[in-house]
Chains A and B, each alone.
Chain A
């Protein structure tokens, strides 16, 4: 018994001594920048990408709607802003299947200075709205509406849809009309807002706790679908230069 124990001990010691391990000896990092000077490209991979790229180009170049005049982006009022917000309003009503009071869009979300007269392509819509923003239908009471309008004034005015008219004097909101009516204190208003803003973006934290319906459709896709449907109905896109944000 004693002998066995002794041998076990010797064996254990020997094994332990001869057991090897992987010691971490050194670590060095040298990341590589993939720049234009590196001419070589994997030709087989390029060939694999090519049909996708061609197909993508073909799809981006698809004309979806004719536009009969130039649309330009500006603040607080602009033809591009009116056009965009109006589409949010109309397609939002279809998506949520309900009547809405108005729609807003933050200026920063529109990424091109305008659209030229002619065909609007899918690619142009991607350039206009590259973000994967989605639509929320948010219920706002009179107090929250006031916060929202103050924020919009602070930001120099955002694109707003038909149905809303703001009068502003010296950066103070003096009058609001929603479909021609003054704001009613105990009414909840249904407003189409991009999720970026509805989730508190651009310091709109006050919108976060509000009751809402969410859509999983990207604004970009909603725009494309709406324009396609309009074109099918023979409608031509045009400018609406109405001032909805009136500076007194």
Chain B
């Protein structure tokens, strides 16, 4: 147990050392590929930076600043995935006045790949949400919101598979229980399914049946709770086949990824980027393409 904990801790702390420790020659020969995952959550219609009014977050955030940063990171990194974990809507008058049009449109300009739905994305009802989808040039996924026979059905996929540099990413979404959080009139018949069981099933499909190399869960469940409520920490430890959980809802600022063991003792990375676009989450993932039984650079990360 102790050994395992030390191992996990060293993984968490040693990120940078490990990265710089990867043999450069292998990059040159194309044996190692770096994929950069950029992500946000709970942007809450924060189009502009926080006003300079002496508040705690004054001057932070802003979509135009984020866009410039993303462009720079795309120049510096060949393979980028840009993801969002929900609550795009609600929080500034931009949403009240334009219904989410500008949020979706600017996210499309930044070339977001996939997003999931947060509870506040239901605030304008299913009609309000679908009305704005013409401005969204990216995909929405949710596995545990059963959207059958609702307005959302044609617009929400259970998962998306994206291939970057020959590496297959399976991306699925999990939403929080809507009862008590969103008035029933607004959720228009969308059914909430148990997130753990759903995740277990979806991640298995992605890893095994669809042969994805890496499975990412966009979660709006929340990082951690004192009360008995499903969190990302529970999700990580009670499932298998998930590699990375990008969370939301609890507006948690994580300095670096948290690594938990899954059901089978394998590490699951969890991250969350605060809220309001104050942080842009950034995770670099290195893959070595080699014979099935051989991995020269993997000695510190005994995954698979």
Contact = CB atoms under 8 A, between A and B. Distances in A.
A21 B290 contact: yes
B283 to A, nearest CB: 5
B287 interface: yes
A32 B291 contact: no
B193 interface: no
A27 B15 contact: yes
Contacts of A31: 254-256, 271, 273, 279-282
Given A26-B15, A45-B106, A216-B185, A36 B63 contact: no
A60 B290 CA distance: 60
A27 B284 contact: yes
B97 A56 contact: yes
A28 B15 contact: yes
B22 to A, nearest CB: 6
Given A31-B281, A52-B94, A26 B48 contact: no
A23 B290 contact: yes
Interface centre among A20, A28, A40, A52, by most B CB within 10 Å? A28
Nearest to B15: A28
Interface string A184-198: 000000000001000
A30 B282 contact: yes
A38 B69 contact: yes
Given A22-B287, A38-B65, A132 B90 contact: yes
Interface centre among A19, A23, A53, by most B CB within 10 Å? A23
Nearest to B277: A34
Interface in A45-99: 45-46, 48-49, 52-53, 55-56, 59-60
Q: Give the size category of B's interface with A.
A: 35 or more
B292 A32 contact: no
Interface in B94-132: 94, 96-98, 102, 105-106, 109, 123
A30 B256 contact: yes
Given A52-B102, A56-B93, A132-B90, A26 B282 contact: no
A20 B15 contact: no
A185 B96 CA distance: 43
Interface string A206-244: 000000001010000000000000000000000000000
Contact of B271 (A21, A29, A33, A34): A29
B213 to A, nearest CB: 4
Interface string B37-75: 000000000011100000000011111111111011000
A16 interface: yes
13 contacts: A21-B292, A22-B214, A23-B295, A26-B19, A26-B286, A40-B65, A40-B69, A41-B64, A42-B67, A49-B102, A59-B93, A60-B93, A126-B93
Given A21-B291, A34-B69, A134-B183, 5 more contacts: A16-B292, A23-B298, A29-B282, A52-B47, A59-B93
